[in-house]
Amino acid sequence: MAEDKVCVGAIAGAFGVKGEVRLKSFCAEAEAIAGYGPLTTQDGARSFDVRLTGQASNGLLARLSGVRTKEDADALRGVRLFAPRDRLPSLPDDEFYHADLIGLAVHDTGGTELGRVTAVLNHGASDLLEVRRSGQSRTVLLPFTREAVPTVDLSQGRIVADPPEGLFE
């Protein structure tokens, strides 16, 4: 498994002049982000208690402890927020935290390694696994569907893929 913290959101910038922030939640239920706190920056240098105050287009409005001015909030734009893994709910067998997929080896159904997952992307329709080809700098976007990815084995650190014809050529 991945490290002991999981990215649950990101600060999109300031809202108003009194330190409120626009918050992007990466949780299945957006409002759940407030219950996993305190949230930290990736390096753990800063910690924030989160109090939700409303909704904005494409996100939530929140107050973060220690953020009192618009300038404080603006300085945090783009900062990703992490929660300890043990505060997050357990997932069903067919669901995964993105953090658990990043770094896994991807093998085809014949056992040949195709590459490693470098990111999990979602542009609205469905998730895509960005896979860096073995020995190359080029990446491939693999649909994260049951058809293209029939097996995810976290305990073995690997994914078995049956990619669409020609995708990894």
Level-2 CATH architecture, domain 5-87: Beta Barrel (2.40)
Q: What does pLDDT average to over the chain?
A: 89
Q: Please tell me what DSSP assigns to residue 96.
A: -
Asked whether the domain spanning 98-161 has the same topology as the one spanning 5-87, the reply is no
Q: Bridge partners of 105?
A: 116, 158
Scanning the structure block, which residue is given the tokens 């195709």? 114
In this prediction the pTM is 0.71
pLDDT of residue 149: 93
- Encoded amino acid at 108, one letter: D
pLDDT of residue 3: 64
Cα 2 from Cα 17, distance rounded (Å): 38
100-117 tens-digit pLDDT: 899 999 999 989 999 999
Question: Residue 99: which H helix or E strand, with range?
Answer: helix 98-101
Burial environment of residue 73 by CB neighbours within 10 A (0 to 12, 13 to 18, 19 or more): buried
What CATH number was assigned to the domain covering residues 98-161? 2.30.30.240
Ordered by start, the domain boundaries in the chain are 5-87, 98-161
Can you tell me whether residue 159 is helix, strand or coil?
strand
Q: Bridge partners of 24?
A: 10
Confidence of residue 122 (pLDDT cuts 50, 70, 90): confident
Confidence of residue 2 (pLDDT cuts 50, 70, 90): very low
Q: Dig out the tokens for 88 from the structure.
A: 């997050």
Cα 103 from Cα 99, distance rounded (Å): 9
Residues 6+ apart with CB under 8 A from 76: 11, 21, 64, 67
